Amino acid sequence: MSEEEVIQYLSNTPEFFIRNADLLESLTLPHPVNGKVVSLLEYQVNLLRKSTADYRAQFERLVEVARENESTMQKSRRLVLAGLTCSSLDDLVVIIDDMVREDFDVSHHTLILYGEFPDNAVRSHKLEENEASLPHTSGFTECFCGALPDNEMNFLFSDSASSIRSVAVLPLLSRESGTIKKCGVLVLGAESKSAFDKDKGALFLQYVADLLSAILLRLLP
C-alpha cells in the first residue's frame, strides 16, 4: 500500500483511531524543535503551543499598529485644528515649534521659506537658478530621511550641526494645476542616527508635509 493510499484511507475513515486508540498512543514522531522522539499527542501539543505563540505575536502586533494609528490620528487632529486658527506666518512658526516638541520629540528643527518675507520672523532664503546653499535639501519633492552634506547641515543648523546624526526633510510645496512650486522646507534633526533612518517609512512625515503645505499656502501673501 502506498503513502497516498494510506492518506486516502485515513481521510475517508476518521473513526479509525477512535477504534484503535492503543495504536494512536504508541505512535511516535520527532520533536519539531530538538528532534527527540515524542508521542503523537505530545507532538500535537507542541504544534498547538507554537500556533498559539504565533497567533499571540500577530495579535500583539495588531494592537501595536492600532496604537500607532490612534497616535497618528491624534497628532494629525492637533495639527489640523492648529492650522485652522493660524492667521500669519509667525503663527505657523509657533505651531511647528509645538508640533516638533510634542509630537516628534526631536532636539532640532529648521523652517525655511523660499522667497523674501521682511515683515515676519520666519527664516527665509531666496532660491537661485544654480542653488548653492541648499542644492540637495531644496531638490526634494517628497519627504527624505537620512543624512545631508556637511555644508547644508551647517547652513540649516549652524553650531548645532555637528551633534545631529539624522534628519527628516519635509518639503513644503504647491501642486496647483499639476505644477510643483517649492515654497519652503521643514528639516527635523535628531542626535540619534536611527531616529530618521533612510530605510524607515516616511508615510506619516509625508502626510504632515502635505498638511503644513496646505496651511502655508493659505498664509502666503
Residue 204 three-state SS: helix
pLDDT-derived band at 199, boundaries 50, 70, 90? low
Grid cell 473513526 is found at 15
pLDDT at res. 42: 66
Sheet holding 144-146, edge to edge: 123-125, 108-114, 181-190, 166-174, 144-146
pLDDT in tens, 41-79: 666 667 677 778 777 888 888 787 677 667 767 877 888
3 band by pLDDT with thresholds 50, 70 and 90 = confident
pLDDT tens column, 4-37: 877 787 788 777 666 776 666 666 656 555 556 5
Grid look-up 492648529 returns 82
Between CA 20 and CA 18 the distance in angstroms is 5
Please compute, for residue 220, the number of CA atoms within 13 A of its CA located in the half-sphere on the CB side. Answer: 18
